[in-house]
């Protein structure tokens, strides 16, 4: 911390985010900047879900990679885990780019919906406006699952220490959320 402060204040040397120590208690904490909004401290978590609502995959990248760099890897991870790429994909606007659309479609995905179009047209992404709207609504519904993970299962603040503890905490929360969803389905 002293070296970082000396560099920044006394030597007027900018310290890259990857080298910054932002927490004395959790040295592995990352600086997360969302577009031009506020700066957060923590870790990114990428979740993949299906129409059942179950969380099918949970990626925990190191650092603060741009969402757009994870669009294709997330689809590839799904294909590796389940033996085939999904038929339809719906992603947040941060994943949107023409290159990602092309690469995802080459993985045999029929419809790709980005919440923000970023210069892409609906016919380029999906078969019809109806499919695009359906996929956007599906993605909006995923936000409820994320909220559940944050509020009910504690993902808003991890209390297990160290990077290993963080990974275990997130995966345990995901497992608990899936068990709850399966129990609710079993009851009805």
pTM of the complete model: 0.77
pLDDT digits (tens, 9 = 90+) for 31-64: 566 666 676 666 678 999 988 889 999 998 887 7
DSSP string, 34-88: -TTS-EEEE---EEEE-TT--EEEEE--SS---GGGTHHHHHHHHHHHHSS--SE
* 71 vs 28, residue with greater confidence: 71
Cβ-Cβ contacts under 8 Å for 59 (sequence gap 6 or more) = 45, 46, 47, 48, 70, 73, 74, 77
pLDDT for residue 28 is more than 60:
no
Exposure string for 60-79, b = 16+ CB within 10 A, e = fewer:
eeeebeebbebbbebbebbe
User: Is residue 45 left, alpha or beta, with left meaning phi > 0 and alpha meaning psi from -120 to 50?
Assistant: beta
Bridge partners of residue 48, in order along the sequence: 57
- The residue written with tokens 């995901």 in the block is 174
**Token digits for 96?**
């949107």
pLDDT band at 76 (very low <50, low <70, confident <90, very high): very high
Lowest mean pLDDT among 6-10, 38-42, 111-115, 161-165: 38-42
- Asked whether the beta carbons of 41 and 30 are under 8 A apart, the reply is yes
The structural domains of the chain, with segments of one domain joined by +, span 2-41, 43-187
pLDDT of 25 strictly over 60: no
Mean pLDDT of 9-16: 72
Predicted confidence (pLDDT) at residue 1 exceeds the cutoff of 90: no
Give mean pLDDT, residues 159-165: 79
Cβ distance 114 to 125 under 8 Å? yes
The end-to-end CA distance of the chain, in Å, is: 54
Q: What is the pLDDT of residues 101-158, one digit of tens each?
A: 999 999 999 999 998 888 899 999 999 999 999 999 998 888 888 898 989 998 878 7
CB neighbour class for 20 (10 Å; exposed up to 12, middle 13-18, buried from 19): middle
């Amino acid at each position: 911390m002293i070296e970082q402060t000396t560099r920044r204040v006394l030597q007027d040397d900018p310290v890259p985010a990857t080298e910054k120590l932002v927490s004395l208690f959790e040295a592995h904490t990352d600086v997360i900047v969302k577009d031009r909004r506020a700066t957060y401290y923590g870790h990114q978590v990428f979740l993949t879900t299906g129409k059942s609502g179950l969380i099918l995959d949970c990626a925990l990248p190191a650092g603060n990679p741009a969402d757009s760099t994870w669009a294709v890897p997330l689809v590839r991870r799904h294909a590796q885990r389940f033996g085939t790429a999904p038929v339809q994909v719906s992603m947040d606007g941060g994943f949107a780019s023409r290159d990602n659309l092309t690469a995802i479609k080459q993985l045999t995905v029929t419809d790709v919906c980005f919440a923000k179009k970023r210069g892409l047209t609906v016919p380029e992404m999906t078969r019809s406006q109806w499919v695009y709207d359906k996929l956007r609504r599906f993605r909006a519904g995923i936000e409820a699952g994320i909220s559940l993970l944050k509020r009910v299962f504690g993902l808003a603040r991890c209390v297990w220490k160290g990077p290993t503890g963080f990974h275990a905490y997130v995966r345990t929360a995901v497992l608990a959320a899936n068990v709850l969803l399966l129990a609710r389905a079993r009851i009805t």
